[in-house]
Amino acid sequence: MPYNTFRYIPPAHKRLMIPLAANGMSNKEIAAAINVGESTVRKVKRLWHTTGYVVARPETNGRPSILTSLDLEVVSHSQS
């Protein structure tokens, strides 16, 4: 049975790929500079162009807050 050959690539490394590509580096050069595969560079660039993110979803966890920044300010001042 094949085992998982994927390795974790931090979002910071993925974010670095976008300006390198914008400066004219090829996928092969970016892959060598960051030590990832060319297919990873292609996937990250495609995701960036379609969603604006370099990871599959935004780096937020949990349920979105229903409080506005004004609500949070009022709550924080009322506790002081």
Q: Is 36 helix (H, G, I), strand (E, B) or coil?
A: coil
Give the fold, CATH level 3, of 8-58. Arc Repressor Mutant, subunit A (1.10.10)
Indicate the burial class of 65 (C-beta count within 10 angstroms; 0-12, 13-18, 19 or more): exposed
CA trace torsion 23, 26, 31, 37 (10° rounding): 140
- pLDDT score recorded for residue 4: 65
Q: What is the pTM of this model?
A: 0.65
Q: Where are the domains of the chain?
A: 8-58
- pLDDT score recorded for residue 75: 84
The pLDDT averaged over each successive group of 10 residues in the chain (80 residues) is 74 95 96 94 94 79 82 79
